[in-house]
Amino acid sequence: MKSRTPRSPFPAVTLRAPRLTLRPVADADAPALFAIFSDRDVMRYWSRPPMADPEEAVALVRDIQAGCARGEALQLAVERNGEGRAIGTCTLFHFHRASRRAELGYALARPHWGQGLMHEALTRLVGYAFGELGLNRLEADIDPRNAASARSLARLGFRKEGTLRERWIVGDEVSDSDLYGLLRTEWPPR
Ligand SMILES: CC(C)(COP(=O)(O)OP(=O)(O)OC[C@H]1O[C@@H](n2cnc3c(N)ncnc32)[C@H](O)[C@@H]1OP(=O)(O)O)[C@@H](O)C(=O)NCCC(=O)NCCS
């Protein structure tokens, strides 16, 4: 079967959900992304320390745009419909074209947690990944202590497939990873 996994570059994709829009990251998103990725609560279980300098967010925007242009990663800004300000990001990255798989990542600004928003955003992005992008498998790598993230994955139908010991060292902290997987045949969850 012919793979529909995108070659470079990604199309400028915009995905709509009931309360949210997922759209390409723009230069003007840097301050909003700095607010998200400098927050210690958001970054508690992240693979890098919180940002300390707004210039890091400017560099992140450049990296996101370059990754999209090269077809390596699709990182979309999440905004509430009609509000225009990024409140989070959702990402497909680590594409393996021949195996039609990619990894899923996500972060939401602290004031917006607990309203089912990331579930809504990820439902849309996972549907796009298995639909338009033709992927066969999605993976997620999370800190075993990240209960909200584990719950978000479980709600989407992801299964925990194993634990990788001492996989990350961020600052002084060494942490394990739980690896989750979701197959196209398991989507949508029953
Ligand atoms: C993970 C994250 C995106 C979830 O976003 P959210 O919009 O609040 O998630 P939702 O409201 O869609 O659902 C979260 C689920 O986790 C549950 N949850 C939230 N906080 C929790 C906690 N501390 N312990 C256990 N469960 C928790 C909620 O009850 C909900 O479960 P439910 O659907 O059964 O009610 C958000 O917490 C976040 O950005 N965290 C920081 C970044 C991060 O860790 N990203 C993942 C890295 S792999």
Nearest CA among 156, 171, 164 for reference residue 44: 171
Please name the residue whose Cα sits nearest to atom 17 of ligand 1.
148
Please name the residue whose Cα sits nearest to atom 20 of ligand 1.
148
pLDDT at 12: 84
Amino acid identity, position 63 = D
Tell which atom from ligand 1 comes closest to the C-alpha of 108: 39
pLDDT at 37: 98
pLDDT at 5: 52
When divided into structural domains, the chain yields a total of: 1
Q: Is residue 100 a part of any domain in this protein? A: yes
Instruction: Report residues of the chain scoring pLDDT below 70.
Output: 1-9
Looking at the chain, the whole-number percentage of residues with pLDDT higher than 90 is 93
Q: Is residue 10 a part of any domain in this protein? A: no
Q: Is residue 180 a part of any domain in this protein? A: yes
pTM here? 0.94
The CATH number given to whatever domain includes residue 90 is 3.40.630.30
Best residue among 79, 108, 146, 153 to mutate for probing ligand 1's pocket (most ligand atoms within 8 Å of CB) is: 108
pLDDT at 92: 98
CA of 4 to the centre of ligand 1 (A): 31
CA of 83 to the centre of ligand 1 (A): 22
Structure confidence by residue, pLDDT tens digits, 115-136 = 999 999 999 999 999 999 999 9
Q: Is residue 6 a part of any domain in this protein? A: no
Q: How far is CA 21 from the centre of its chain?
A: 14
In this structure, are residues 118 and 146 in contact, taking their beta carbons and an 8 Å threshold?
Answer: no
Q: Is residue 3 a part of any domain in this protein? A: no
Q: Is residue 9 a part of any domain in this protein? A: no
Structure confidence by residue, pLDDT tens digits, 29-44 = 999 999 999 999 999 9
Tell which atom from ligand 1 comes closest to the C-alpha of 115: 11
Task: Verify whether ligand 1 is closer than 6 Å to residue 66 (CB atom).
Answer: no
Q: Is residue 42 a part of any domain in this protein? A: yes
Please name the residue whose Cα sits nearest to atom 42 of ligand 1.
107
pLDDT at 85: 97
Task: Verify whether ligand 1 is closer than 6 Å to residue 107 (CB atom).
Answer: yes
Q: How many CA atoms lie within 13 A of 67 on its CB side?
A: 18
Best residue among 89, 125, 151, 168 to mutate for probing ligand 1's pocket (most ligand atoms within 8 Å of CB) is: 151
CA of 57 to the centre of ligand 1 (A): 23
pLDDT at 121: 98
In this structure, the strands spanning 101-108 and 137-142 are parallel
pLDDT at 11: 73
Determine the structural domain holding residue 54 and report its residue range: 15-186
Q: Is residue 122 a part of any domain in this protein? A: yes
